[in-house]
Amino acid sequence: MPRPSAKWGDLSPSLSAPVLEVIEGLGFDKMTPVQAATIPLLMSYKDVAAEAVTGSGKTLAFLVPLLELLLKRKRSEAWKKHEIGAVIVSPTRELATQIHDVLSEFLSHEELACFRQKMVIGGNAVEDDVVAILKDGANILVATPGRLQDLFDRKGDLNLAAKVKSLELLVLDEADRLLDMGFEATINTILTYLPRQRRTGLFSATQTKEVKDLMRAGLRNPVLVSVREKAATSTPKLLQNYYAIIEPEQKLVALLEFIRAKNVKKAMVFFPTCACVEYWSVALAELVSSMQVLALHGKMKSQRFRILKSFREADSALLLCTDVLAR
């Protein structure tokens, strides 16, 4: 396993100047183990199955070689507007958005701005994505599996399968979660639309039987990379956790007293069901008038981003949510 202190400039094959400049601008001086192990393999046109925990730096582990592969092809033949060279499949809209945002940092460089990315994650009419792809084009797709299959299955005007004939790289991010969330059939359908002559990077926190089955179906002679170090960013250093054992009928009083006693500016309160979130968001809005009370649960798919943005930007807010926030 490569040393975690390895510098980006020491990679072989070496990285291009614009990619290195963006990495430097982002403040990443040294590679993590998963980056040092995975990037050279993908850049050398090998399929890779990487076992790495969240927070280990795997987003750059696939975005960097993705861009290098597209740049290498561009030197001999320019990418057409509607020619898709890379597809990234992520289990949730939130994770896909994070990937999209990091990729945007790279594509803001003048020498990488020639590549167009498009995020297709649902929450809007599929026709909107079709119109956007046809109008703006895309060389990189960041997608959730359901919407991506919808676009592949669509006949007529889009013909997405024809646009991925020159695909260089497929990335299956958090593959174990993709399967846990019931997307196995969807992923297998997507694979049927993709050319066999491609590279595939599969990233997973665990190597379950289902993940290994997916590896056999979607990867060719993959190199296995296992990085088991503890994630450096698994828990924010300034995060404070408190707990109290109380009777059910005292929960509301205890919550209100805690918020007032600790002078809490922002807090997340988890509830077991969507109905609980809805009910208490109304009740607490009356009881905690000094704070903005926001509700977030699994039945609010089209509103998630707006609500999270409001919570981040608020000076004082209480976010009531189900475990959907963990996604």
Average pLDDT taken over every residue of the chain: 89
Q: Strand runs (DSSP E) across the chain, as ranges?
A: 48-52, 86-89, 117-120, 140-143, 169-172, 199-204, 223-227, 266-270, 292-296, 317-321
| CATH class of the domain whose range is 248-325 | alpha beta
Instruction: Give CA torsion, residues 59, 65, 66, 72, to 10 deg.
Output: 160
Task: Say if residues 51 and 226 touch (Cβ distance below 8 Å).
Answer: yes
Say which CATH superfamily domain 8-226 falls into.
Answer: P-loop containing nucleotide triphosphate hydrolases (3.40.50.300)
Question: In the predicted model, what is the mean pLDDT of residues 78-103?
Answer: 95
Whether the domain at 8-226 and the domain at 248-325 fall into the same CATH topology: yes
pLDDT tens-digit map of 223-267? 999 986 654 544 555 667 778 899 988 988 998 888 888 788 888
Q: What per-residue confidence (pLDDT) applies to 255?
A: 87
CA 256 to chain CA centroid, Å, is: 35
Q: What is the per-residue pLDDT across 9-18, written as a single tens digit (0 to 9) for each?
A: 999 999 999 9
- Which sequence spans correspond to the domains of the chain? 8-226, 248-325
How far is the C-alpha of 96 from the C-alpha of 90, rounded, in Å?
A: 6
